[in-house]
């Protein structure tokens, strides 16, 4: 496997900003050409899906790019066609949708935890490639990423997450079960790849033990898959003259200002 370019943290931040700028150009092209892009993020717990998604969306227009994290199905949703909940979130023309976990829940957590029947699981594996082919046939660009993390690194991140009150919400009872059923999840992932890693809709594996490297590699790869061009959508912008007319504004004392508890001074 070829060795990538080594970067310092400062160089990483510079390259990340460059790639994020390219993502803006990509979004402008998608909007202008009324394209539709769907990106799936799957992987083990703590693999870095949230961090990668946050770096991708940091400077994108939220009006035409949204993140979808479908919650546990309601009783009504459990009675629907399985893919129905996900179809509702697919993009319209000029939109990007990033799925933080996706319909592959059925091949992973639902399979391992027994949340679906054997028949439902087998039907998913049979039908999923046809479903994704239908998305491609309709003109949707579908990209699937699997963020891969080693046993040792996941263990380290689990322990760090447990000690950080800001991240405790990420550690659910399902995560605990996932750790206890490590081999079951590995087996489920391998079988999922066997059935759904197709030439038209392949899985792209991202080595994610180093989060910074994973983010740069993933974003760079995503940009390479979308045939975008730099568009001068806005062109030069000239600010209009500020309106001037007599108007007496209310006193600040009439407003309900929040307490000034902090004052940050420039160095």
- Provide the pLDDT for residue 26: 98
Query: CATH top-level class for 9-228?
Result: alpha beta
- Rounded to 10 deg, the angle between the 118-137 and 182-196 helix axes is 40
Of 183 and 121, more confident: 121
- Provide the pLDDT for residue 3: 67
Q: Could you give the C-alpha distances from 257 to 23, 223, 247, 249, 263, in angstroms and in order?
A: 38, 44, 22, 16, 15
Q: What is the DSSP-derived secondary structure letter of residue 42?
A: E
75: tokens are: 């009783």
37: tokens are: 């892009």
Residues 6+ apart with CB under 8 A from 150: 209
Mind listing the pLDDT tens digit for each residue in 223-267? 999 999 999 766 677 889 988 999 999 998 899 998 989 999 887
pTM of the entire predicted model: 0.89
- As a whole number of angstroms, the distance between CA 8 and CA 13 comes to 9
Mind listing the pLDDT tens digit for each residue in 90-110? 999 999 999 999 999 999 999
- Containing H/E element for 43? strand 36-43
Residue 213 has pLDDT above 60, yes or no: yes
Q: What is the CA radius of gyration of the chain?
A: 22
């Amino acid at each position: 496997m070829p060795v990538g370019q080594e970067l310092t943290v400062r160089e990483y931040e510079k390259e990340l900003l460059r790639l994020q700028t390219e993502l803006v150009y990509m979004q402008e092209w998608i909007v202008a050409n009324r394209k539709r892009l769907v990106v799936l993020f799957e992987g083990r717990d703590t693999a870095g899906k949230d961090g990668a998604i946050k770096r991708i969306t940091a400077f994108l227009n939220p009006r035409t790019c949204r993140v979808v994290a479908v919650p546990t199905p309601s009783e009504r949703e459990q009675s629907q066609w399985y893919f129905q909940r996900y179809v509702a979130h697919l993009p319209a023309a000029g939109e990007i949708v990033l799925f933080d976990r996706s319909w592959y829940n059925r091949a992973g957590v639902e399979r391992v935890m027994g949340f679906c029947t054997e028949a439902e699981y087998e039907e998913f594996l049979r039908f999923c490639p046809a479903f994704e082919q239908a998305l491609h046939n309709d003109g949707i660009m579908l990209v699937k990423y699997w963020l891969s993390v080693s046993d040792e690194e996941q263990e380290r991140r689990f322990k760090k997450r447990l000690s950080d009150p800001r991240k405790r919400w990420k550690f659910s009872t399902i995560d605990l079960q996932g750790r206890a059923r490590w081999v079951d999840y590995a087996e489920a992932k391998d079988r999922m790849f066997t059935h759904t890693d197709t030439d038209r809709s392949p899985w792209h594996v991202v080595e994610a033990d180093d989060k910074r490297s994973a983010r740069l590699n993933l974003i760079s790869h995503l940009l390479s898959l979308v045939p975008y061009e730099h568009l001068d959508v806005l062109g030069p912008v000239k600010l209009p003259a500020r309106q001037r007319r007599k108007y007496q504004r209310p006193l600040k004392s009439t407003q309900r200002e929040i307490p000034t508890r902090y004052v940050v001074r420039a160095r």
